Protein backbone atom coordinates (compact mmCIF):
# COMPACT_ATOMS: atom_id res chain seq x y z
CA UNK A 1 0.00 0.00 0.00
CA UNK A 2 1.42 3.41 -0.97
CA UNK A 3 2.14 5.97 1.76
CA UNK A 4 -0.55 8.36 0.57
CA UNK A 5 -3.20 5.65 0.53
CA UNK A 6 -2.10 4.48 3.99
CA UNK A 7 -2.58 8.03 5.29
CA UNK A 8 -5.98 8.15 3.57
CA UNK A 9 -7.07 4.87 5.15
CA UNK A 10 -5.81 6.03 8.55
CA UNK A 11 -7.87 9.20 8.22
CA UNK A 12 -10.98 7.07 7.66
CA UNK A 13 -10.34 5.49 11.05
CA UNK A 14 -10.09 8.96 12.65
CA UNK A 15 -13.51 10.25 11.72
CA UNK A 16 -12.92 11.27 8.10
CA UNK A 17 -15.08 10.44 5.08
CA UNK A 18 -12.52 11.72 2.60
CA UNK A 19 -9.01 13.10 2.60
CA UNK A 20 -10.12 16.25 4.45
CA UNK A 21 -13.88 15.97 4.97
CA UNK A 22 -14.76 14.96 8.53
CA UNK A 23 -17.78 13.14 9.86
CA UNK A 24 -18.55 16.19 11.99
CA UNK A 25 -18.57 18.46 8.90
CA UNK A 26 -20.88 16.03 7.09
CA UNK A 27 -23.22 16.19 10.07
CA UNK A 28 -23.20 19.99 9.85
CA UNK A 29 -23.89 19.96 6.10
CA UNK A 30 -26.76 17.52 6.55
CA UNK A 31 -28.25 19.03 9.70
CA UNK A 32 -31.82 20.30 9.93
CA UNK A 33 -30.56 23.82 10.57
CA UNK A 34 -27.82 24.03 7.91
CA UNK A 35 -29.95 25.89 5.36
CA UNK A 36 -30.80 28.64 7.84
CA UNK A 37 -27.27 28.84 9.20
CA UNK A 38 -25.92 29.14 5.66
CA UNK A 39 -28.24 32.06 4.97
CA UNK A 40 -27.34 33.71 8.28
CA UNK A 41 -23.61 33.37 7.58
CA UNK A 42 -24.00 34.53 3.95
CA UNK A 43 -26.73 37.19 3.93
CA UNK A 44 -25.70 38.27 0.42
CA UNK A 45 -27.32 35.03 -0.85
CA UNK A 46 -30.72 36.69 -0.57
CA UNK A 47 -29.65 39.24 -3.22
CA UNK A 48 -28.70 36.57 -5.79
CA UNK A 49 -31.11 36.41 -8.71
CA UNK A 50 -31.19 34.72 -12.13
CA UNK A 51 -29.20 36.85 -14.54
CA UNK A 52 -26.83 38.30 -11.94
CA UNK A 53 -24.16 36.11 -13.55
CA UNK A 54 -24.62 37.56 -17.05
CA UNK A 55 -22.02 40.31 -16.70
CA UNK A 56 -19.47 37.82 -15.37
CA UNK A 57 -20.05 35.22 -18.09
CA UNK A 58 -19.56 37.88 -20.77
CA UNK A 59 -15.97 37.25 -21.86
CA UNK A 60 -15.67 34.07 -19.76
CA UNK A 61 -13.71 31.00 -20.88
CA UNK A 62 -14.59 27.40 -20.03
CA UNK A 63 -11.40 25.46 -20.69
CA UNK A 64 -12.65 22.00 -19.61
CA UNK A 65 -15.87 20.68 -21.19
CA UNK A 66 -16.94 17.12 -22.02
CA UNK A 67 -19.11 16.99 -25.14
CA UNK A 68 -20.46 14.52 -27.64
CA UNK A 69 -19.10 12.82 -29.72
CA UNK A 70 -17.13 10.99 -27.05
CA UNK A 71 -16.53 7.47 -25.81
CA UNK A 72 -19.64 7.77 -23.63
CA UNK A 73 -22.85 9.75 -24.04
CA UNK A 74 -22.68 13.41 -23.08
CA UNK A 75 -25.54 15.77 -22.26
CA UNK A 76 -24.86 17.99 -25.30
CA UNK A 77 -22.80 17.94 -28.45
CA UNK A 78 -20.05 20.44 -29.20
CA UNK A 79 -22.19 22.69 -31.36
CA UNK A 80 -25.02 22.87 -28.80
CA UNK A 81 -22.55 23.93 -26.10
CA UNK A 82 -20.84 26.46 -28.37
CA UNK A 83 -24.21 28.02 -29.22
CA UNK A 84 -25.14 28.23 -25.51
CA UNK A 85 -21.78 29.86 -24.81
CA UNK A 86 -22.20 32.34 -27.65
CA UNK A 87 -25.65 33.30 -26.37
CA UNK A 88 -24.10 33.88 -22.93
CA UNK A 89 -21.51 36.09 -24.68
CA UNK A 90 -18.65 33.93 -23.45
CA UNK A 91 -15.25 34.32 -25.07
CA UNK A 92 -14.19 30.70 -25.57
CA UNK A 93 -14.89 27.04 -24.91
CA UNK A 94 -12.44 24.12 -24.95
CA UNK A 95 -13.56 20.53 -25.48
CA UNK A 96 -11.83 17.65 -23.72
CA UNK A 97 -11.65 13.97 -24.65
CA UNK A 98 -9.88 11.63 -22.22
CA UNK A 99 -8.49 9.52 -25.06
CA UNK A 100 -8.51 11.34 -28.37
CA UNK A 101 -8.10 14.52 -30.38
CA UNK A 102 -10.84 17.17 -30.23
CA UNK A 103 -9.07 19.97 -32.11
CA UNK A 104 -10.33 18.84 -35.53
CA UNK A 105 -13.96 18.78 -34.39
CA UNK A 106 -13.45 22.15 -32.69
CA UNK A 107 -12.37 23.62 -36.03
CA UNK A 108 -15.57 22.39 -37.69
CA UNK A 109 -17.73 23.71 -34.84
CA UNK A 110 -15.97 27.07 -35.12
CA UNK A 111 -16.86 27.20 -38.81
CA UNK A 112 -20.50 26.52 -38.01
CA UNK A 113 -20.55 29.18 -35.28
CA UNK A 114 -19.01 31.68 -37.67
CA UNK A 115 -21.65 30.91 -40.29
CA UNK A 116 -24.39 31.42 -37.68
CA UNK A 117 -22.89 34.79 -36.79
CA UNK A 118 -22.72 35.82 -40.46
CA UNK A 119 -26.35 34.95 -41.17
CA UNK A 120 -27.67 36.48 -37.94
CA UNK A 121 -28.61 33.36 -35.99
CA UNK A 122 -26.03 34.37 -33.39
CA UNK A 123 -25.03 37.91 -32.51
CA UNK A 124 -21.83 36.96 -30.69
CA UNK A 125 -18.87 34.85 -31.80
CA UNK A 126 -17.43 32.36 -29.32
CA UNK A 127 -13.97 30.89 -29.91
CA UNK A 128 -13.91 27.07 -30.05
CA UNK A 129 -10.83 25.02 -29.18
CA UNK A 130 -9.80 21.44 -28.48
CA UNK A 131 -6.73 19.40 -27.72
CA UNK A 132 -5.52 15.87 -27.08
CA UNK A 133 -6.12 13.44 -24.21
CA UNK A 134 -3.24 11.11 -23.33
CA UNK A 135 -4.86 8.12 -21.64
CA UNK A 136 -3.46 5.91 -24.38
CA UNK A 137 0.07 6.76 -23.26
CA UNK A 138 2.68 9.53 -23.16
CA UNK A 139 3.56 9.38 -26.85
CA UNK A 140 5.59 12.40 -28.00
CA UNK A 141 5.09 11.57 -31.68
CA UNK A 142 1.30 11.52 -31.24
CA UNK A 143 1.55 14.93 -29.57
CA UNK A 144 3.84 16.26 -32.29
CA UNK A 145 1.30 15.32 -34.97
CA UNK A 146 -1.73 16.53 -32.99
CA UNK A 147 -0.14 19.96 -32.54
CA UNK A 148 -0.34 20.44 -36.30
CA UNK A 149 -4.14 20.58 -36.12
CA UNK A 150 -5.91 23.95 -36.00
CA UNK A 151 -7.73 25.13 -32.88
CA UNK A 152 -5.39 23.19 -30.57
CA UNK A 153 -4.99 24.66 -27.06
CA UNK A 154 -4.66 21.95 -24.37
CA UNK A 155 -2.89 18.66 -23.68
CA UNK A 156 -4.69 16.57 -21.07
CA UNK A 157 -2.47 14.20 -19.11
CA UNK A 158 -3.80 10.73 -18.13
CA UNK A 159 -6.98 10.40 -16.10
CA UNK A 160 -8.58 6.93 -16.00
CA UNK A 161 -5.24 5.34 -16.85
CA UNK A 162 -3.14 7.46 -14.49
CA UNK A 163 -0.69 5.45 -12.38
CA UNK A 164 -0.65 8.17 -9.71
CA UNK A 165 -4.43 8.10 -9.41
CA UNK A 166 -4.51 4.30 -9.18
CA UNK A 167 -1.76 4.33 -6.58
CA UNK A 168 -3.53 6.94 -4.43
CA UNK A 169 -6.73 4.88 -4.69
CA UNK A 170 -4.90 1.85 -3.29
CA UNK A 171 -5.29 -0.25 -6.44
CA UNK A 172 -1.68 -1.49 -6.50
CA UNK A 173 -1.44 -0.54 -10.20
CA UNK A 174 0.46 -2.50 -12.81
CA UNK A 175 2.89 -0.10 -14.56
CA UNK A 176 2.13 -1.93 -17.81
CA UNK A 177 -1.56 -1.06 -17.50
CA UNK A 178 -1.38 2.47 -16.09
CA UNK A 179 0.52 5.49 -17.40
CA UNK A 180 3.34 6.83 -15.25
CA UNK A 181 4.63 10.40 -15.37
CA UNK A 182 7.45 9.90 -12.87
CA UNK A 183 9.86 7.05 -12.21
CA UNK A 184 9.92 5.16 -8.88
CA UNK A 185 12.97 7.29 -8.07
CA UNK A 186 10.91 10.47 -8.47
CA UNK A 187 12.33 11.59 -11.82
CA UNK A 188 10.11 12.87 -14.61
CA UNK A 189 10.15 10.26 -17.36
CA UNK A 190 11.94 11.21 -20.61
CA UNK A 191 8.80 10.98 -22.74
CA UNK A 192 6.96 13.26 -20.31
CA UNK A 193 9.77 15.79 -20.46
CA UNK A 194 9.65 15.67 -24.25
CA UNK A 195 5.89 16.29 -24.26
CA UNK A 196 6.29 19.20 -21.84
CA UNK A 197 8.95 20.63 -24.14
CA UNK A 198 6.61 20.30 -27.11
CA UNK A 199 3.87 22.08 -25.15
CA UNK A 200 6.24 24.90 -24.26
CA UNK A 201 7.40 25.27 -27.85
CA UNK A 202 3.83 25.28 -29.19
CA UNK A 203 2.52 27.55 -26.44
CA UNK A 204 -0.30 25.20 -25.45
CA UNK A 205 -1.52 24.47 -21.94
CA UNK A 206 -1.07 21.21 -20.04
CA UNK A 207 -3.87 19.96 -17.78
CA UNK A 208 -2.32 17.54 -15.32
CA UNK A 209 -5.03 14.88 -15.10
CA UNK A 210 -5.96 12.58 -12.24
CA UNK A 211 -2.66 12.01 -10.50
CA UNK A 212 -1.25 12.40 -7.00
CA UNK A 213 1.06 14.90 -5.33
CA UNK A 214 3.97 12.46 -5.60
CA UNK A 215 3.87 12.84 -9.39
CA UNK A 216 2.61 16.41 -9.49
CA UNK A 217 5.50 17.99 -7.61
CA UNK A 218 8.29 16.91 -9.99
CA UNK A 219 6.12 17.44 -13.08
CA UNK A 220 5.08 20.95 -12.01
CA UNK A 221 8.69 21.76 -11.18
CA UNK A 222 9.73 20.72 -14.67
CA UNK A 223 6.81 22.61 -16.21
CA UNK A 224 8.06 25.76 -14.49
CA UNK A 225 11.62 25.17 -15.67
CA UNK A 226 10.49 24.62 -19.27
CA UNK A 227 8.02 27.52 -19.33
CA UNK A 228 4.87 25.39 -19.61
CA UNK A 229 1.50 26.79 -18.56
CA UNK A 230 -0.08 24.01 -16.48
CA UNK A 231 -3.26 23.56 -14.45
CA UNK A 232 -4.35 21.15 -11.71
CA UNK A 233 -7.47 19.30 -12.80
CA UNK A 234 -10.25 19.48 -10.14
CA UNK A 235 -7.91 19.11 -7.12
CA UNK A 236 -10.92 19.31 -4.80
CA UNK A 237 -12.62 16.19 -6.15
CA UNK A 238 -11.98 13.18 -3.94
CA UNK A 239 -10.59 11.11 -6.81
CA UNK A 240 -7.43 13.26 -6.85
CA UNK A 241 -7.88 15.43 -3.77
CA UNK A 242 -5.04 17.73 -2.76
CA UNK A 243 -4.53 19.52 0.53
CA UNK A 244 -4.54 23.33 0.49
CA UNK A 245 -0.85 23.38 1.40
CA UNK A 246 -0.10 21.07 -1.55
CA UNK A 247 -2.04 23.31 -3.91
CA UNK A 248 -0.13 26.31 -2.60
CA UNK A 249 3.20 24.59 -3.13
CA UNK A 250 2.31 23.79 -6.73
CA UNK A 251 0.84 27.25 -7.31
CA UNK A 252 4.13 28.72 -6.09
CA UNK A 253 5.77 26.83 -8.97
CA UNK A 254 3.47 28.63 -11.40
CA UNK A 255 0.81 25.93 -11.82
CA UNK A 256 -2.76 27.17 -11.92
CA UNK A 257 -5.28 25.64 -9.49
CA UNK A 258 -8.45 24.47 -11.21
CA UNK A 259 -11.73 25.36 -9.50
CA UNK A 260 -14.66 23.67 -11.21
CA UNK A 261 -18.43 23.49 -10.82
CA UNK A 262 -18.10 20.30 -8.80
CA UNK A 263 -17.62 20.13 -5.78
CA UNK A 264 -19.24 23.55 -5.30
CA UNK A 265 -22.27 21.98 -7.01
CA UNK A 266 -22.50 18.50 -5.43
CA UNK A 267 -23.90 15.85 -7.72
CA UNK A 268 -25.04 12.28 -8.13
CA UNK A 269 -21.48 11.43 -9.17
CA UNK A 270 -20.07 12.45 -5.80
CA UNK A 271 -22.83 13.66 -3.49
CA UNK A 272 -20.86 13.94 -0.24
CA UNK A 273 -18.82 17.11 -0.57
CA UNK A 274 -18.34 20.48 1.08
CA UNK A 275 -19.27 23.33 -1.30
CA UNK A 276 -17.44 25.86 0.86
CA UNK A 277 -14.05 24.28 0.12
CA UNK A 278 -14.00 26.08 -3.23
CA UNK A 279 -14.31 29.45 -1.52
CA UNK A 280 -11.62 28.53 1.01
CA UNK A 281 -9.14 27.49 -1.69
CA UNK A 282 -9.87 30.57 -3.78
CA UNK A 283 -9.09 32.80 -0.80
CA UNK A 284 -6.01 30.84 0.29
CA UNK A 285 -4.44 30.48 -3.16
CA UNK A 286 -5.60 33.78 -4.65
CA UNK A 287 -7.76 34.44 -7.70
CA UNK A 288 -4.78 35.30 -9.89
CA UNK A 289 -3.54 31.70 -9.50
CA UNK A 290 -6.90 29.95 -9.91
CA UNK A 291 -8.76 29.01 -13.10
CA UNK A 292 -12.45 28.15 -13.29
CA UNK A 293 -14.21 25.77 -15.65
CA UNK A 294 -17.31 23.61 -15.69
CA UNK A 295 -15.86 20.09 -16.18
CA UNK A 296 -19.50 19.35 -17.05
CA UNK A 297 -21.11 17.46 -19.90
CA UNK A 298 -21.86 14.29 -17.94
CA UNK A 299 -25.45 13.15 -18.44
CA UNK A 300 -26.37 13.53 -14.73
CA UNK A 301 -25.00 17.07 -14.43
CA UNK A 302 -26.34 20.43 -15.50
CA UNK A 303 -25.43 21.43 -19.02
CA UNK A 304 -22.05 23.15 -19.12
CA UNK A 305 -23.13 26.80 -19.47
CA UNK A 306 -26.01 26.28 -17.03
CA UNK A 307 -23.46 24.87 -14.57
CA UNK A 308 -21.26 27.93 -14.98
CA UNK A 309 -24.28 30.12 -14.26
CA UNK A 310 -25.03 28.38 -10.96
CA UNK A 311 -21.31 28.25 -10.09
CA UNK A 312 -21.01 32.01 -10.61
CA UNK A 313 -24.11 32.72 -8.52
CA UNK A 314 -22.74 30.52 -5.74
CA UNK A 315 -19.38 32.29 -5.69
CA UNK A 316 -21.06 35.67 -5.45
CA UNK A 317 -23.54 34.36 -2.87
CA UNK A 318 -20.77 32.99 -0.67
CA UNK A 319 -18.99 36.34 -0.61
CA UNK A 320 -16.38 36.09 -3.36
CA UNK A 321 -15.81 39.56 -4.79
CA UNK A 322 -17.01 40.38 -8.28
CA UNK A 323 -13.43 41.22 -9.24
CA UNK A 324 -12.19 37.78 -8.17
CA UNK A 325 -15.05 36.06 -9.99
CA UNK A 326 -14.19 37.94 -13.17
CA UNK A 327 -10.52 37.04 -12.74
CA UNK A 328 -11.07 33.29 -12.56
CA UNK A 329 -13.76 33.24 -15.25
CA UNK A 330 -12.03 35.46 -17.79
CA UNK A 331 -8.47 36.54 -17.07
CA UNK A 332 -6.61 33.51 -15.76
CA UNK A 333 -8.16 31.09 -18.29
CA UNK A 334 -6.99 33.39 -21.09
CA UNK A 335 -3.47 33.35 -19.67
CA UNK A 336 -3.57 29.57 -19.27
CA UNK A 337 -4.60 29.13 -22.91
CA UNK A 338 -2.15 31.72 -24.22
CA UNK A 339 -4.88 33.98 -25.57
CA UNK A 340 -4.41 37.69 -26.00
CA UNK A 341 -5.89 39.82 -23.20
CA UNK A 342 -9.51 40.69 -23.89
CA UNK A 343 -10.14 44.15 -25.33
CA UNK A 344 -11.77 46.54 -22.87
Assess whether pLDDT exceeds 50 at residue 279. yes
Assess whether pLDDT exceeds 70 at residue 13. no
Ordered domains of the chain (ranges, CATH): 3-337 (3.20.20.140)
Residue 33 DSSP symbol = T
Burial (CB count within 10 angstroms: exposed 0-12, middle 13-18, buried 19+), residue 231 = buried
Residue 8 has a pLDDT of 53
Assess whether pLDDT exceeds 50 at residue 154. yes
Q: What is the mean pLDDT of residues 49-67?
A: 98
Assess whether pLDDT exceeds 80 at residue 309. yes
Assess whether pLDDT exceeds 60 at residue 296. yes
158-216 pLDDT tens trace: 999 999 999 999 999 999 999 999 999 999 999 999 999 999 999 999 999 999 999 99
Residue 1 has a pLDDT of 45
Residue 140 has a pLDDT of 98
Q: Which helix (H) or strand (E) holds 155?
A: strand 152-156
Q: How far is 304 from 310, CA to CA, in rounded Å?
A: 10
Burial (CB count within 10 angstroms: exposed 0-12, middle 13-18, buried 19+), residue 138 = buried
Q: What are phi and psi of 270, to 5 degrees?
A: -155, 85
Assess whether pLDDT exceeds 60 at residue 2. no
Q: What is the mean pLDDT of residues 124-142?
A: 98
Residue 266 has a pLDDT of 86
Q: What is the mean pLDDT of residues 82-104?
A: 98
Residue 119 has a pLDDT of 98
Label residues 16-39 b or e (16+ Cβ within 10 Å = b). bebbbbeeebbeebeeeeeeeebe
Q: What is the mean pLDDT of residues 244-271?
A: 95
Instruction: Say what the pTM is.
Output: 0.94
Q: What is the mean pLDDT of residues 92-107?
A: 98
Mean pLDDT of the residues in the chain: 95
Residue 342 has a pLDDT of 78
Q: Give percent above pLDDT 70 in the chain.
A: 95
Cα three-residue angle 324-329-333, rounded to 5 degrees: 115
Cβ atoms 194, 222 nearer than 8 A: no
Exposure of 145 in the CB half-sphere (CA atoms within 13 A): 5
Residue 248 has a pLDDT of 98
Residue 176 has a pLDDT of 92
Cα three-residue angle 114-63-322, rounded to 5 degrees: 100
Q: How far is 26 from 190, CA to CA, in rounded Å?
A: 43
Cβ atoms 51, 79 nearer than 8 A: no
Amino acid sequence: MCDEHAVYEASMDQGHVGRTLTVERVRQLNSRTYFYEMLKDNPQLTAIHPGIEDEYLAGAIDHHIHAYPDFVHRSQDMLQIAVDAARARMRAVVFKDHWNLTAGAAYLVQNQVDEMVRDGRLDHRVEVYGGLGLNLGMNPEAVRIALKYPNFRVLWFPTFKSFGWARSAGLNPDPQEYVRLVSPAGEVLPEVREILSLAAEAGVAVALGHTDFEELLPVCTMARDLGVRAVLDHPLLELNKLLVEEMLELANLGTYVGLYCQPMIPSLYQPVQDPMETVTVLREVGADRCVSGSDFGQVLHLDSVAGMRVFTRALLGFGVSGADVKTILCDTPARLLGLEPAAD
